[in-house]
Amino acid sequence: MNIKIIAVGKIKEKFTKLALEEYEKRLGAYCSLILAEIPAQEIKDESLAQKYMEAEAEKILAKIKPDSFVITLEIEGKSLSSVEFAQKLKDISANGTNEVVFVIGGANGLAKSVSERADFKLSLSKMTFTHQFARVLLYEQIYRAFKINANESYHR
């Protein structure tokens, strides 16, 4: 399975980079993982936040293939247990999908056009996380899902 993660913003903290590198290494045994970072729009005027989101949306949508299964991370998305998430990925793969794209928005969230492109909207929590931390949580849950689906022990 090919996994692409499209994330707005760059990772700045060394400890976050190290965590992501570790999960990337672990995931290499299960899937092809591609990270596409979209530069965050610097907000100089809050009244232009929607315009900035739309600029990010154009860049996000340009990185998604028409036949990709898109999962956006949204606070109002569906909450799944780790086992349910693993089953979701298994079902997507069983339907012949070659690429699953996860989208993590920036500080302003996701533009409506990106949300509407989603085949599934996932909530990691009702809490709000920085995009850096959301990225680590997502990587960990993807790794956990592959371990669950392979009947391996990490998930316990």
Note the pLDDT tens digit of each residue in 57-100: 999 999 999 999 999 999 999 999 999 999 999 999 999 999 99
pLDDT tens figures, 106-136:
888 899 999 999 999 999 999 888 888 999 9
On whether the 2-155 domain is CATH 3.40.50.720, my answer is: no
Q: What is the DSSP letter of 44?
A: S
In whole angstroms, give the CA distance from residue 116 to residue 101: 14
**pLDDT averaged over every residue in the chain:** 93
Domain boundaries, the chain: 2-155
- Residue 140 burial class via C-beta count within 10 angstroms: exposed 0-12, middle 13-18, buried 19 and up: middle
How far CA 26 is from CA of 98, 114, 130, in Å, comes to 20, 29, 23
**Can you tell me whether residue 111 is helix, strand or coil?**
coil
